[in-house]
Amino acid sequence: MFAIGVVARLIALIVLLGPVTFVRGSEVRGFLGQSVTLPCSYSVRLNGESEMCWGRGWCTNTYCSETLVTTNGKTVTSKISLKYHLDGKIEEGDVSLTVDNLGEEDGGRYCCRVEIRGLFNDHIDYSNLLILEASSPVTIPPITDMTHTAEHGNKFSSSTNTPSISPTKQNSTQTPHSTAREEFARSLVGPVLLAFRASVLICFIVITVFLCKWKCTFLTKELLS
């Protein structure tokens, strides 16, 4: 009866805490009107070709929310728009997501979930996408070189050189607005919470095993005496 009670409590705790998965997070910056790639990969050698999905926001306990793209481990099986595509070698575990023609609405959290065989083994990558404005061309005033000579009066000659500078992308180290930083900070809450749940679950299992062993030893001594 004691063992049955322990198992029941363990199952209840697992249901309460939810699945424990491997979670990573990163910040990615993109420019309006351009493309950006959100990283995600897993080891095919260790886990085999696995189904996966990309979605917006937090992943659920079993799948992606607001699913954008899905694969069967070898090729893309569905996607909601041509805006989203996987350009890496899916069969080798590269399932990074490319998003084209970025708009303000594309900013925020994305979730990559790889369904690894086994209980609570799914691999999850979170990317927080920050959208920045592309830089405008840089204008520099003309540089004028002047030469003065004193021959038969004053004579001046001048030449003007205007530097030609092509537009460049905004430096990737540009500091985003404070709201973007706050959004990224909030994106870390999920992984930290999952790590805490995993720690609580492990501690509970260790304590349960210890109590079971102690109870069995106590009952054995009672029977022998």
In a domain, 12, yes or no: no
The runs of H, that is alpha helices, within the chain are 2-17, 44-47, 178-187, 189-224
> What total of structural domains would you count in the chain?
1
Query: What does the block give as tokens for 75?
Result: 């090729």
Give 165: exposed, middle or buried? Use CB within 10 Å, 0-12, 13-18, 19+: exposed
Taking the C-alpha atoms of residue 56 and residue 80, their distance in angstroms, rounded to an integer, is 12
In a domain, 66, yes or no: yes
In a domain, 178, yes or no: no
Is the pLDDT at 19 greater than 90, yes or no?
A: no
Q: What is the pLDDT of residues 209-222, one digit of tens each?
A: 878 777 777 777 77
Contact 71, 86 (CB under 8 A): yes
Q: What residues make up the domain containing 49? A: 17-134+188-218
In a domain, 125, yes or no: yes
Q: What is the pLDDT of residues 182-206, one digit of tens each?
A: 555 555 555 565 666 667 778 778 8
Beta-carbon-side half-sphere exposure of residue 162 (alpha carbons within 13 Å): 5
CATH of the domain at 59: 2.60.40.10
For the question of whether the overall pTM of this predicted structure is more than 0.85, the answer is no
Q: What is the pLDDT of residues 143-182, one digit of tens each?
A: 554 444 444 445 444 455 554 444 444 444 444 444 545 5
In a domain, 174, yes or no: no
In a domain, 84, yes or no: yes
Q: What is the pLDDT of residues 61-108, one digit of tens each?
A: 889 999 999 999 999 999 999 999 999 999 999 999 999 999 999 999
**3 state SS of 56:** strand
In a domain, 172, yes or no: no
In a domain, 179, yes or no: no
Nearest by Cα to 55 from 109, 123, 120: 109
